[in-house]
Amino acid sequence: MNHGTTKDLCRVVSTFVPKTGHHTTVESSATLQHHSDVVQDTASVHLEFTDNDSFRKIDALFGCSNPVICHAGNSTSPPRERLFKKTAPSISGKEDLHLLLQQETNTMAALLSNQVAALLLLLCYIGPSAAVLFSSLPQTLRVTASPSPGQVLHAGVDEITVTWALNQSLPAGTDSGYKKVKVTLCYAPVSQTDRGWRKTDDHLKKDKTCQFKMATRPYAATGTVTYTVERSIPTATFFVRAYVLDASDTEVAYGQSTDPKKTTNLFDIAGITGRHASLDIAAACFSAFSIGALAFFFVIEKRKAKK
């Protein structure tokens, strides 16, 4: 993994050529720069416009094949330039970066005549990046779970009702990519200590905190699921977390029923023991049979030796 190296991965020069009339020289050059460090990769495309007016009309869409948070535009960039930045968490994998530049023409076509759409397709490898880091996910949902703090639920018997709602103080359009909500049951830190198989890892693919899926629902700004605790859930302390997935089933946001340090609103689940009376009896019988067989043979030995 590179630390802070910058390299020009690809250089695309394209010229927008207007279909009709006005000469518009729009030179755009896109230099894709890859800056990667341990946490994230940044790909930026710098467009320079020789024509002031066309600059105003350019509407650039930044699209990614593996949807993560894309920040489009930078209002502080100098005039006639647009800097588009994409930030992606860098883990193993490759990503196709599609840069879609679309010219928007308006009916007036004052500057950029009509429908000229230049499509710049940039396919660049950003390097090792594709998987999602938990620290990169925004907490946009408010999640509440029905168990009260410290309540003990019984596996196979009790139910958990989870309600989620989109945080209303966020700007509109935050949930434009949201497709599904996956509600999961997650281990609290007290159930993770000294248990490496439940470890929390920032890379979601390696993370073992939330091992039980309660439900998956299509995305709605608010929702509720009711879940009966399955008999395979072990005895431990839990909280509830809901991941928001996009169209390609990648996590894009989350919400959880506890605080960021995972100390409040935790509840317990008492798992089934798996023991049955019949097992106890069978174990006792077989044990007795083994000892009995031994005693039997000892007695026979003694008798044989006596003869």
| Furthest-apart CA atoms within the chain: distance in Å | 124
d(CA 270, CA 206): 26
Q: Which C-beta is closer to another protein: that of 249 or that of 301?
A: 301
Tell me if 183 sits within 8 A of 215, measured CB to CB.
yes
Letters for 222-251 (x = contact with another protein by CB under 8 A, - = none) are ---------xx-xxx---------------
Pairing of strands 152-154, 267-270: parallel
Minimal distance, residue 290 CB to another protein, in Å: 4
**By CB under 8 A, is residue 25 in contact with another protein?**
no
E strands, the chain, are 5-16, 26-36, 40-48, 58-64, 70-71, 81-89, 97-103, 141-145, 152-154, 159-166, 180-187, 212-218, 222-228, 236-245, 251-256, 267-270
Stretch that binds another protein, among 14-22, 30-38, 166-174, 299-307 (CB under 8 A): 299-307
Tell me which stretch binds another protein (CB under 8 A): 22-30, 75-83, 102-110, 289-297.
289-297
Question: Counting contacts by CB under 8 A, is residue 201 touching another protein?
Answer: no
Q: Which is nearer to another protein, 68 or 155 (CB)?
A: 155
Please say whether the beta carbons of 26 and 15 come within 8 A.
yes
Angle value at C-alpha 273, between 235 and 188, nearest 5 degrees: 5
Q: Interaction with another protein in 265-284: which residues (CB under 8 A)? A: 271-276, 279-280, 282-284
Of 110 and 279, which CB lies nearer to another protein in the complex structure?
Answer: 279
**Nearest alpha carbon to residue 123 among 248, 11, 247, 2:** 11
Which CB, 13 or 279, lies closer to another protein?
Answer: 279
Rule CB under 8 A: which residues touch another protein?
193-197, 231-232, 234-236, 271-276, 279-280, 282-284, 286-287, 289-291, 293-294, 297, 301, 304-305
